[in-house]
Amino acid sequence: MSEAFLSEYEKIFLLHGVQDDLRLDGRAPNDYRPIRVEFENINNSYGSCQLILGDTKVVAAVKAELDTPDVCTPDMGKLDFFVDCSANAAPEFQGRGGEQIASQIVNILTNLFSSKNFDLTQLCVVPGKKCWHLYVDIVLLESSGNLYDACALATKLALSRARFPKLKIKSDDEGQVEIDFADDVDEVIQLNVESLPHSVSVCKIGNSYVVDSDLKEESVTKVRIMFGFDDKGNIRYTSKDGFGSLDPDSLYSIIDIAKNSSIKLQQFYTNAISTTNNEYYSS
Amino acid sequence: MNRTAQSVPDETWDPLVFLEPNSLLEIVNQRKQNLDQDTEHMDTDSTNSKQPIFLKTDCVNEASGSSYIEIGNAKVLCSVYGPREIPRRDDYDFKVANLNCEFRFASFSCFMQRRGTLSQRDQSLDEKNLSSAIEEALKPSILLHKYPKSQIDLYILCIQNDIDSRNIVCASIIAASMALANASIELYDLVSSYTYTPVNLTVSYMPQLNQVTSIHFSNEANGACLSTDLFKSHIKESIENCKKVYSFMKHILLNSDFYSLLKNGLDHDIKKVDIS
């Protein structure tokens, strides 16, 4: 968790506010900040998305190349994540400073978009010989809390907008395959990403729970629980962040709060991908 | 011929990999089944939980505290060094002690060979993730403010990995908590941990304080997706099992600590003088 520099009294002010259901920016405990997405603004990628969540700005771009599949999974493609924490986002990301938070984000994304949740067989070109290897590159332009949810949503949106050229496969008598682009250049393949989970993180501040914490709230958070909810509201991933502990009853309330937020996120996602524009905005 | 100058491929594979894809899967499944049968066999004489636990403290004499644990097929050795002086002045913290947690897999511990000795290779990604998961689960239990300007090192070595690494996290957390207690480091409570293996849900829990210190669920191995109600009931069940594991830990600790105090009582006193 990156932190804002707050004095002890500012922290107490914030804490008391949250306990009375008053957050610094006037939101209710289970409100998300306004989300704005822009698609296809990275021309050199197969699909891209810029997500602005409050003051958090994230760009996710999907690149792809042909690769040979792993020996153990001959009918599956590959998916890799790279997260860059630019020093623009926070001064502490300078040099190798952002490495730890980047690897945390990569770890969560790898778990959320694992082969059990994302059908990697749709990336297979010739079983055992060729497959698509997707690289999802994420850059943090501005960091203002709740990076996990922002990165996961941006990745899902970028993957849903990704278009790959259709390939023509010719095999000769000796079993050699030749791969070429299809005759019609406009023919594209789209990925099925419906069942990919959303990330929802809930912070425990004092005795209250808030979703979509901003940087100041994160600096008084002792425990944050992250969930991966799929489109049917089932849990596919859970982990804890931060060096605090919580009692089981708060854990159960956090699960309920997270589920309600996941429904809102799912609603936002369906609206965002159904727009024909390259832009979608929710308040 | 100079063998060291010869280039070696970066990656090597189990020879079985070069069989037909389906036969490889069969062999892997066969191995897993064999391992499963072993566990089932051991299950019959277990009383505390579904998988038997073997736990022992004081296995590394040079360390301040140590423990060894076996759960199912997982075998983990853990030792604690410290609280000791921080070697680099930059890392000084005047309020709390630094907890340094390092988890490593032994080269032979997994299905796939890990190349090189531990000192030759850096921590791999899964080792780093496990290290931070263990640190996260233990930190709430330690009175770190009692040891300012010092560092506590926690070294965890996995000697044998379970199928899909499923009991490794909970075994490491239990072992580390026991080792910390064995090293006479002040704790709020022992951290007990349990992995509900069918869905790979790990919960760590401090029973005396009724606090959950960590929770982790990932469906990477089995593709489970749980409704919230089912998830809650699994957490409840895991917490119940944590309590059972806790009573077992307490029993082992009390019995062996008595013995170790008798044996090393003087050493413990000298160490305490060093810190202050």
* Residue A132 falls inside a structural domain: yes
Phi, psi torsion values for A77, nearest 5 degrees: -85, -170
Phi, psi torsion values for A151, nearest 5 degrees: -65, -40
For B4, residues 6+ apart whose C-beta sits below 8 A from its C-beta are: none
For chain A, what is the domain count? Answer: 1
Task: Give dist(CA B36, CA A242) in Å, integer.
Answer: 35
Task: Determine how β-strand B150-160 pairs with β-strand B98-105.
Answer: parallel
Name beta bridge partners: A59. Answer: A50, A139
In the predicted model, is pLDDT for residue B78 greater than 90? yes
* Residue B109 falls inside a structural domain: yes
Task: Give dist(CA A104, CA A93) in Å, integer.
Answer: 14
The pLDDT score that the predictor gives to residue B140 is 93
Within A20-166, residue ranges assigned H as helices are 99-112, 147-161
Beta carbons of B137 and B193 less than 8 angstroms apart: yes
Within chain A, residue ranges assigned H as helices are 8-19, 99-112, 147-161, 215-218, 248-274
* Residue A204 falls inside a structural domain: yes
Q: What is the pLDDT of residues A16-47, one digit of tens each?
A: 999 998 898 888 888 899 999 999 888 899 99
Cβ of A238 within 8 Å of Cβ of B21? The answer is: no
Please report, for the domain that includes residue A122, its CATH number.
Answer: 3.30.230.70
* Residue A282 falls inside a structural domain: no
* Residue B26 falls inside a structural domain: no
* Residue A283 falls inside a structural domain: no
Task: Determine how β-strand A163-165 pairs with β-strand A167-171.
Answer: unpaired
- Check residues B44 and B143 and name the one with the higher pLDDT: B143
* Residue A281 falls inside a structural domain: no
Smallest CA–CA distance, residue A7 to chain B, in Å, is 17
Q: How far apart are the first and last CA of chain A?
A: 25
For chain B, what is the domain count? Answer: 1
Say yes or no: B228 contacts chain A, CB-CB below 8 A: yes
* Residue B11 falls inside a structural domain: no
Q: Which residues of B touch A252 (CB under 8 A)?
A: 232, 235
* Residue A233 falls inside a structural domain: yes
* Residue A144 falls inside a structural domain: yes
- Chain-centroid distance of CA B249 in Å reads 14
Helix, strand, coil percent values for chain B (each to nearest 5): 40, 25, 35
Please report, for the domain that includes residue B112, its CATH number.
Answer: 3.30.230.70
Smallest CA–CA distance, residue B183 to chain A, in Å, is 21
* Residue B144 falls inside a structural domain: yes
Burial B16-37 (b: 16+ CB within 10 A, else e): eeeeebeebeeeeeeeeeeeee
Residue B54: give the domain boundaries: 41-263
* ipTM here: 0.87
Report the sign of the C-alpha dihedral through residues B116, B120, B122, B128, in that order. Answer: positive
Beta carbons of B154 and B78 less than 8 angstroms apart: yes
* Residue B202 falls inside a structural domain: yes
* Residue B272 falls inside a structural domain: no
* Residue B19 falls inside a structural domain: no
Smallest CA–CA distance, residue A157 to chain B, in Å, is 21
Please give chain A's pLDDT, 283 residues, in tens: 556 678 899 999 999 999 998 898 888 888 899 999 999 888 899 999 999 998 999 999 999 999 888 877 888 899 999 999 888 888 888 878 788 889 889 999 999 998 888 888 888 888 888 899 999 999 999 988 899 999 999 999 999 988 888 888 887 777 777 888 777 777 888 888 888 899 999 999 988 999 999 888 988 898 999 999 998 889 999 999 888 899 999 999 999 999 999 999 999 999 988 888 888 888 6
Residue A78: give the domain boundaries: 8-276
Task: Give dist(CA B245, CA B254) in Å, integer.
Answer: 14
The pLDDT score that the predictor gives to residue B265 is 31
* Residue A174 falls inside a structural domain: yes
